[in-house]
Copies of this chain bind each other. A is one copy, B any other.
Amino acid sequence: MSDAPSAAEEIMDGVYSALRAHGYADLTMQDIADECSKSKSLLHYHYDTKEDLLVAFLEYIVSDSEERIAARADDPPVERLVQFIGWFVFAPDETDREAFHIALLELRTQGPFNERIREQLARSDRLLRGTVADILADGIETGVFRDVDVEETAAMIVATLDGARTRQITLADSVRGDEADGYTRTVAEATLRRIVEPLLADGAELPPLDAAIEALRRDPDSPEPDDPEPDDPETDAAADGSE
């Protein structure tokens, strides 16, 4: 298999870089062309409008998430749940990730006004809640989780992690003083202790969050749900090369 990215992948990487650098509202096709070293006319050959390209980007990152989540479907349920929660955790100094999520949040505010964007957001929502619900159902079946309303629990966990991320990125360094670890870290730990731990059957144990986060960072296949970053050359260079 060739390691060379396809043109489509290069363009998607360009959208990712351009969103981090320019945000969503002011983004132009030229910005994206500059980031992926393609001509603006080539971009327009593939995508009629900026909206077409951004919808394709959303499709791409949700599909990428689907694949990455599917690749882990056979891991033990408790580990999968801790990994899912760990995916949302990022440190306040991960500025690239913060910039990307700010742009993505801007894009999400277009949901009510743009049906194609909303469709992708709804698809992502079904994926996230469905993943947590599946993990819980698997764990109930295998006896590691107590019986619980899986849909409600999934909705709550996804809302909690999403809210923590939104607060961390929008408040930026204004809360760093008293929360050096960041909102996502605080809330992920609370979620494990307050929501997940009470669901564990006798004898089942939570693996530590830190180990899950470390493993996710080492693994280039690790997704961040909702909005997995397309493979980042810098990150991949630092990864263990198992791909």
Contacts and interface: CB of A to CB of B under 8 A. Distances in A.
B122 A98 contact: no
Given A122-B174, A164-B159, A190 B153 contact: yes
A141 B125 CA distance: 40
B125 A167 contact: yes
Interface in A182-230: 183, 186-187, 189-191, 194-195, 198
A109 interface: yes
Given A98-B112, A105-B109, A125 B171 contact: yes
Interface in A115-168: 118-119, 121-122, 125, 152-153, 155-156, 158-164, 166-167
Given A25-B25, A118-B174, A122-B171, A156 B191 contact: yes
B171 A163 contact: no
Copies in the assembly, this chain: 2
Interface residues of A, number: 46
Interface string A48-91: 00000000000000000000000000000000000000000000
Given A158-B163, A158-B167, A194-B194, 7 more contacts: A105-B105, A112-B172, A122-B171, A152-B190, A159-B161, A163-B163, A198-B198
Which 5 residue pairs are nearest across A and B when measured between Cβ atoms?
A163-B163, A159-B163, A122-B174, A162-B163, A111-B170
20 contacts: A23-B109, A25-B25, A102-B109, A105-B108, A106-B109, A111-B172, A112-B170, A118-B171, A122-B174, A122-B175, A152-B186, A155-B164, A156-B187, A156-B191, A156-B194, A161-B163, A162-B163, A162-B166, A163-B163, A166-B166
